[in-house]
Amino acid sequence: MVCGGHVAQLLKTEFEGRVGPILSLSLWTATLSVLTLGFYRFWMKTRLRRHFWSAVRPDGTPLEYVGKGIEKFTGFLIALVMLALLIGVLALGLVYASYAVFQDEVEAYLVAAVIALPLIYFASYRAKRYVYARTRWRGIRFGLEPAAGKYAMVAMGHLFLSLITLGFLWPRMTFKLEKFRTDRTFFGDQRMHQGGKWTGLAKSFLPTLMCLWLGLGMVSYAVAQSFAVGEKDNGFDAGGELFGLLAFVPLLILIALFFYLRYRIVALRYLANHKTAGGVGLISRLSFPRVLGINIGGYLLTNICTGLAMLVVGAAASGLLILFYPGLADFGVFASGAVSEGTAGDGEGLPSAGLTVAFALFLYMATLLFFSVFRQTFVLFPTWRHYARTLSLTGGEHLAQIQQRDRDHAGQAEGMAEAFDLGAAI
Amino acid sequence: MTMTPQVNPWAATPEGVRCEFVDGKTAKRHDAYVTMPPGEGVLEVRYLGEPREDIWGKVMSDETLCVSWPLSQLRHVEGQHNLRWGKVSMGVFTTVMSPTARLYVRDGVLLSEIKAAAPNLTRRAPVTGKGRIAGLITGAVASVLLIVFVLIPAIADQLAMRLPVEGERALGDKTYERIRESFSQNDYIPIRECTNDPGFAALTQMQEALIGASDLAPEAVRLTVLDFDMVNAFALPGGRIVVMRGLIDEAGGPDEVAAVIAHEIGHVAHRDPTRHALRGVGTFGVLSLVFGDFAGGTVVLLGVNQLVNAQYSQEAESAADAYAHALLPKVGVSPGALAPLFERLKEKYGDSEGLASHLASHPKLGDRVDRAHAAAVGFDQDTQPILSEAAWSDLRAICD
């Protein structure tokens, strides 16, 4: 040890978690959620968060999530009343106006989206505030200053700028919003700071932007051509050319998605590497190929497992059905599918309409359940693990100067976000 | 700049098991030595304090601090009961008196000693504000019920009366397409509309006869037959009345079909379907919110089911029946024509609810049969079938 000075400490993050416990935890909590018509979902998320949080251990000390299911539930109830008014009355009014004026409902959805957009940003900030207020490390609370309203307005401004520059200022929005949140985030009494510049993200967004502009160019060219063809009316060749152009669009979308995912990961890494809390800094070594691999492999596995699970559930349900309705015996293991799709026909010894609807609902909910469980296990869990293992803290010796902060009640929890189903995962 | 504590090489090795400790006041993690003096019921944690200046300005650097936690106040940190650290267990403990302090124990022996000696490890903090939560739940449930059953219907009724005809038609067409798609057994081809020429002519004839006798404009109602087994007919916004093939198959004559259609025309005249559809928009939006089903599958399933098996209010049903009872005599059909079909369905399917018996399983069916009979009592003019024998057989073949 050097006399009188500090040794710069690099603290690595450990990750301690296995697939088995995650799978069983998410399976039984999801089952309970379905059995309670979705009302257990608040407690389910709380349990999952506790599990995921405590698996992440910067410098060997586990993170803690101390939120309570009941908080989320009551927060949701408050949001529910406001949103029920909004959705019930507003949706009704919009649909009415849309049909009265345009004889269609697309306009209603558009207006609803414009109204919902700031609300979503508002809700997501509120949700973050709640989660931070309930997260601890080494017994010290995190916190986020209340500024949800301002955040929503700022986000709208950035969104507008990105829109009129055809996406050119999108990385600026990413950076500024992250800075808005980070600069209001605390660990104990230590305010965090987002360094760096938005132009640091611009380069990695360039390929996505090129794809976007190419797509826009192609569409506007196609539109212009179709007008020209309409005027001159000479157009078999032009039509073929247009068709060729438009066939290229799905491929372009795929490429753009690839580059956008890459942008997201690179941006996340850049933003993490420029965050500081006093003398403590972050180093992230996130790898895009790893994240891409996790996502592709994970979703593949998720879909296969969901398919298999549904086959088993479907067959079991069919067995039960045939037991009670012998008329279905011809369908064998596919009886449940036939009933839920209404192809079983009707007559003696067949289930009633009410049961049919109930059955369709059951199969639908079961599919959703299995999908979310397997996604939790095969996509989110490995992603989380990769994020954790590639994260280190610098300047660990400065942690001693960080003091505890007061508890933030964060009264309405994530009510709004819950209602919008933001952060559906965890 | 603070001074690094100098480690005294001659200091005795502290007694106890080495653990990690945070005091809940700063983010500094201390190496702590934990002992459990027998018989005292406490856990003693000794660690080196941060260097600080005492009241004379002298830096105190290697001051050993000791906290003692009564075992009865020791708790697991919630959700971290059985953490692992590689192959071994890891215990995370706190105490009631300083709930932000943490003791991280990785030593297996100490861990099992603590677990054996501390009686209340898993006890949770009492839930506070139970009354407030109960009040909140009651209030929220009451508000949502009020919104769904009072506010939305009231607004929907007002809007339905004001919706222009073109808008109503468009709304009806949208719901019509949705129903055709959802009842289809094929995902891509909606169920077929029956438009066989002679059958369609017979249908048009029936439509014109009924509308001519009513006070509605000739284009206010459109009859459509769908190629589906269900014994059912329903009205959609904008005056589209859908008759399922099953109903025509089951009917004993054109009058029975006409009676069902007259009832549906009653709904159209009172704008019940529009009101119903608008109400559905609000209600199902709120329902999907409550159940957190963002994919919206529940809503679509229930929504279509509810449109087809529209359970209008008791008053709306009575009003539509009254409308039919007034309309039918004008085209020379007995208001009692509705009764035989219902009675036959009841006899055929009994109390069991087959897929085909939607109409028969309609609640208060007995009442409606009685009402139809009652309306027929005063009816003594000559009846004439609404369609000729030939036209009726054309109509029966409309889906061929």
Q: What is the pLDDT of residue A208?
A: 93
Residue A391 lies in a domain: yes
Given a cut of 80, whether residue A352 has pLDDT beyond it is: no
- Tell which of B281, B305, B352, B361 to mutate to test the A interface (max A CBs under 10 Å): B281
Q: pLDDT (tens digit, 9 = 90+) per residue, A377-403?
A: 999 999 999 999 999 999 888 888 888
Query: Is there a single domain that holds both residue B248 and residue B361?
Result: yes
Instruction: Count Cβ neighbours within 10 Å for each residue of A279-304 and write b for 16 or more, e otherwise.
Output: bbbbbbebebebbeebeeebeeebee
Mean pLDDT of A18-43: 85
Contacts of B164 in chain A (CB under 8 A): 100
The proportion of chain B whose per-residue pLDDT surpasses 70, expressed as a percent, equals 82
Instruction: Give the chain B residue nearest A406 (alpha carbons).
Output: B25
Test the A interface: residue of B2, B89, B148, B286 with most A CBs within 10 Å: B286
> Confidence class of residue B357 from pLDDT cuts 50, 70 and 90?
very low
Question: Coil, strand or helix: which one is B10?
Answer: coil
Encoded amino acid at A40, one letter: Y
pLDDT confidence tier of residue B60, bands split at 50, 70 and 90: low
Reduced to 3 states (helix: H, G, I; strand: E, B; else coil), residue B80 is coil
The better pLDDT of the pair B78, A285 is held by A285
| Domain-located, residue B7 | no
Pairing of the two strands A185-187 and A190-194: antiparallel
Q: How far is CA B372 from CA A155, B85, B323, B334, B387, in A?
A: 63, 78, 12, 9, 21
pLDDT tier at A192, thresholds 50, 70, 90: very high
pLDDT digits (tens, 9 = 90+) for B328-353: 888 888 888 877 877 777 666 654 44
Q: Give the count of beta carbons closer than 10 Å to the beta carbon of residue B264.
A: 26
| Token reading at A175 | 């950076």
Q: How confident is the model over B264-281, as a mean pLDDT?
A: 86
Q: Which residues are CB-neighbours of B351 under 8 A, at least 6 positions away? A: none
Q: Using one digit for the tens of pLDDT, what is the confidence trace for B203-252?
A: 888 888 888 888 888 888 888 888 888 778 888 888 889 888 888 888 88
Which of A255-269, A312-326, B315-329, B341-355 is modeled with the greatest confidence? A255-269
Name residue B290's beta-bridge partners.
none
Asked if the structure places residue A261 within a domain, the reply is no
> Is B139 contained in some domain?
no
- B276 domain residue, yes or no: yes
Query: Is B147's CB within 8 Å of A85's CB?
Result: yes
pLDDT, one tens digit per residue, over B360-376 is: 445 556 667 777 777 77
Residues of B designated catalytic: 264
Q: According to the model, what pLDDT value does residue B3 have?
A: 46
- Chain B neighbors of A356, CB-CB under 8 A: 355
**Same structural domain, B113 and B157:** no
> Does residue A132 lie within any of the structural domains?
yes
Chain B residue numbers touching A139 (CB-CB < 8 A): 22-24, 94, 100-102
Q: Which pLDDT band holds residue A151 (cuts at 50, 70, 90)? A: very high
B23 found inside a domain: yes
CB spacing of A84 vs B229 below 8 angstroms: no
In this predicted structure, the answer to whether residue A422 has a pLDDT above a threshold of 50 is no
Per-residue confidence (pLDDT) for residue A350, from 0 to 100:
59
Phi, psi of A399 (to 5 degrees): -60, -30
Q: What's the pLDDT band for A167 if we cut at 50, 70, 90?
A: very high
Give domain status of residue A381, yes or no: yes
Contact A59, B257 (CB under 8 A): no
Chain A residues lying within 8 Å of B139, measured CB to CB:
81
Q: Which residue has the higher pLDDT, B182 or A250?
A: A250
User: How much of chain B, in percent, has pLDDT values that exceed 90?
Assistant: 6
Residue B259: is its pLDDT beyond 50? yes
Same-domain pairing of B100 and B241: no
- Check: CB of residue B355 under 8 Å from CB of residue A345: yes
- Mean pLDDT, rounded, of chain B: 80
A425 pLDDT band, cuts 50/70/90, is: very low
Q: How many CB atoms lie within 10 A of CB A225?
A: 16
- CB–CB contact A16 B84 (8 Å): yes
pLDDT confidence of residue B356: 39
Sign of CA dihedral A383, A384, A385, A388: positive
Q: Of A51-55, A112-116, A388-392, where does mean pLDDT reach its minimum?
A: A112-116
A242 band by pLDDT with thresholds 50, 70 and 90? low
Q: Is the pLDDT of residue A345 over 70?
A: no
DSSP B243: E
Comparing CA positions, the residue from B264, B284, B275 lying closest to residue B237 is B275
Same domain for B167 and B59: no
| pLDDT number for residue A195 | 93
Confidence tier at A417 by pLDDT (50, 70, 90): low
Quickly state the pLDDT bin for A424 (edges 50, 70, 90): very low
- Residue A219 confidence (pLDDT): 82
Average pLDDT, chain A: 83
Determine the average pLDDT of the residues in B284-300.
Answer: 64
Encoded tokens for A417: 């976000």
Q: Is the pLDDT of residue A207 over 90?
A: yes
Is residue A317 included in any domain, yes or no?
yes
Q: Is the pLDDT of residue A55 over 80?
A: yes
Evaluate if residue A2 carries a pLDDT over 50: no
pLDDT at B6: 52
Q: What angle do CA B339, B341, B344 make, to 5 degrees?
A: 105
Subunit contact B163:A93, Cβ cutoff 8 A: no
Q: What are phi and psi of B235, to 5 degrees?
A: -105, 145
Q: How many domains does chain B have?
A: 2
CB-CB under 8 Å, A347 with B356: yes
Stretch A275-279: mean pLDDT, rounded?
Answer: 91
| Tokens coding A288 | 């895009």
The CA distance from A390 to A393, in Å, is 10
Q: Report whether pLDDT(A40) > 70.
A: yes
Among A216-230, A372-386, B60-74, B336-350, the range with the most confident prediction by mean pLDDT is A372-386
Q: Is B333 found in the same domain as B224?
A: yes
- Comparing CB atoms, the residue among B20, B26, B302 nearest residue A400 is B26
* φ/ψ (deg, to 5) at B56: -95, 5
Angle (deg, nearest 10), helices A170-182 and A199-232: 140
Predicted pLDDT at B281:
78
Q: What is the mean pLDDT of residues B54-81?
A: 81
Is the same domain home to B55 and B164?
no
Q: Which pLDDT belongs to residue A420?
A: 53
In 3D space, the residue among B66, B370, B355 whose CA is nearest the CA of residue A354 turns out to be: B355
How many Cβ atoms are within 10 Å of B242's Cβ, its own excluded? 23
Kindly provide the residue ranges of all beta strands, DSSP E only, lying in chain B, ordered along the sequence.
Answer: 17-22, 30-35, 42-48, 52-53, 59-60, 64-70, 74-76, 83-85, 88-95, 102-105, 193-194, 222-226, 233-236, 240-244
CA atoms within 13 A on the CB side of A245: 19
Indicate the number of domains in chain A: 1
Interface of A with B in 224-263 (CB under 8 A): none
> Is B134 contained in some domain?
no
Is residue B325 situated within a structural domain? Answer: yes
Residue-level pLDDT at A220 = 84
Both tokens of B127, joined, read 């839930």
The nearest CA of chain B is from the CA of A401 a distance in Å of: 7
Pair type for strands B193-194 and B52-53: unpaired
HEC assignment per residue over A292-324: HHHHHHHHHHHHHHHHHHHHHHHHHHHHHHHHH
Residues B57 and B183 in one domain: no
Task: Please give the model's pTM, rounded to 2 decimal places.
Answer: 0.80
Residue A20 inside a domain? The answer is yes
**Tally: H helices and E strands in chain A:** 15, 10
Same domain, B107 and B161: no
Pick from A224-233, A272-281, A395-404, B236-245 the range whose average pLDDT is largest.
A272-281
Contacts of A331 in chain B (CB under 8 A): none
Chain A window 90-149: which residues touch B at a Cβ cutoff of 8 Å? 91-93, 95-96, 99-101, 103-105, 136-141
Distance (Å, whole) CA A376 – CA B56: 58
What is the mean predicted confidence (pLDDT) over A23-32?
A: 88
- What chain A residue is nearest to B132 in terms of C-alpha separation? A74
CATH number at residue B96: 2.30.29
Q: Is the pLDDT of residue A224 over 90?
A: no
pLDDT reading at A157 higher than 80: yes
Among A362-371, B104-113, B375-384, the minimum mean pLDDT is found in B375-384
What value does the mean pLDDT take over residues B104-119?
Answer: 90
- For residues A243 and B142, the model is more confident at B142
Domain that holds residue B348: 151-396
Report the share of chain A in percent with pLDDT over 70: 83
Q: Mean pLDDT throughout B253-261?
A: 87
For the four alpha carbons of A258, A260, A266 and A269, in that order, the dihedral sign comes to negative
Does A83 map to a domain?
A: yes
Same domain, B88 and B168: no
Residue A410 Ramachandran class (φ > 0 left, ψ -120 to 50 alpha, else beta): left
Q: Are residues B110 and B178 in the same domain?
A: no
Position A42 pLDDT exceeds 50: yes
Does residue B8 fall inside a structural domain? no
Give pLDDT, residue B354: 40
Label residues A91-113 b or e (16+ Cβ within 10 Å = b). bbbbbbbbbbeebebebbeeebe
What average pLDDT does range A296-305 have in this prediction?
Answer: 95
Please give the pLDDT value at position B81.
83
Confirm whether B246 is domain-assigned.
yes
User: Are the C-beta atoms of residues B140 and A80 closer than 8 Å to each other?
Assistant: yes
Q: Which domain does A351 fall in, by range? A: 11-194+280-395
Strand-pair partners of B65: B47
Confidence of residue A423 (pLDDT cuts 50, 70, 90): very low
A412 in any annotated domain: no
Of B101, B117, B133, which closes a domain? B117
Q: Measure in Å the smallest separation between the Cα of B331 and chain A Cα atoms.
A: 34
Q: Nearest-CA distance from A249 to chain B in Å?
A: 23
Residue whose pair of structure tokens reads 């964060």 in the numeric block: A410
B102 lies in the same domain as B198: no
pLDDT at A91 over 90: no
Residues B109 and B188 in one domain: no
* Residue A185 dihedral angles phi and psi, to the nearest 5°: -95, 140
Structure tokens at A165: 């520059």
What ipTM does this complex have?
Answer: 0.80
